[in-house]
Amino acid sequence: MPEPDHHSPEFRDIYSSWMRIKNKMNLIDNIPQEYGTKTALFLSEIHTIQAIGRTEGNNIRTIAAILGVTPSAASQTVTRLTKKGVVQKVRGIKNEKEVSLVLTPLGRIAYDYHERIHEQMYERIAGRIGELTEDELASLARIFSAFESVYNERIIELASQKGMKDSSIQDPFIEGPSA
């Protein structure tokens, strides 16, 4: 079987399609939504809510690591979410000194609504793709793994240029400190 030509027009079309998808995702990121509440939330905020809702006994550092942001950035987002009434800071879950984060009833509504959106998007995409063979699934996994690997490398390059430590930008899904 001949080697694929990664400079072929078809491969470039796939890459262009990926970039369009990324741009559309960025557009969605910048449109606040209410997520079943009367409170406008940006995607970064709902993802913080999601991280808090999925982890018990968490704190700012835990949430920052899950989101792949600095503790300072996570703290700023949590402060906004506390003011919006969707997150509450509580003491005494682990110990009296540490502040843990929990969702308020309003935060739980937003969390559940967001989870339903994810499930609906998954179902819509899966429905449009239809059945895939094992080989097709393996190819897709390889393609997305390559994209993720390149973006992980780029994150580390940018962090290095800015003098940031890997740990301050570490994505919990990146294997090892600099994969």
Give pLDDT tens digits for 137-173: 999 999 989 988 998 898 889 888 877 765 445 544 4
* Cα separation, 1 vs 15, whole angstroms: 23
CA 32 from chain center: how many Å? 16
Q: Distance of CA 133 to CAs 21, 103, 130, 137, 142, Å? A: 24, 41, 10, 6, 14
The domain total for the chain is 2
Answer yes or no: are the C-beta atoms of 78 and 60 closer than 8 Å: yes
Say whether both 106 and 48 belong to one domain: yes
Q: Which pTM does this prediction carry? A: 0.73
Say whether both 74 and 122 belong to one domain: yes
Say whether both 68 and 109 belong to one domain: yes
pLDDT, tens only, 91-148: 866 667 788 999 999 999 999 999 999 999 999 999 999 999 999 999 999 998 998 8
In a domain, 26, yes or no: no
**Where does the pLDDT of residue 29 fall: very low under 50, low under 70, confident under 90, or very high at 90 and above?**
confident
Say whether both 114 and 143 belong to one domain: no
User: What is the largest distance, in Å, between two alpha-carbon atoms of the chain?
Assistant: 64
Say whether both 122 and 37 belong to one domain: yes
Say whether both 52 and 126 belong to one domain: yes
Say whether both 89 and 139 belong to one domain: no
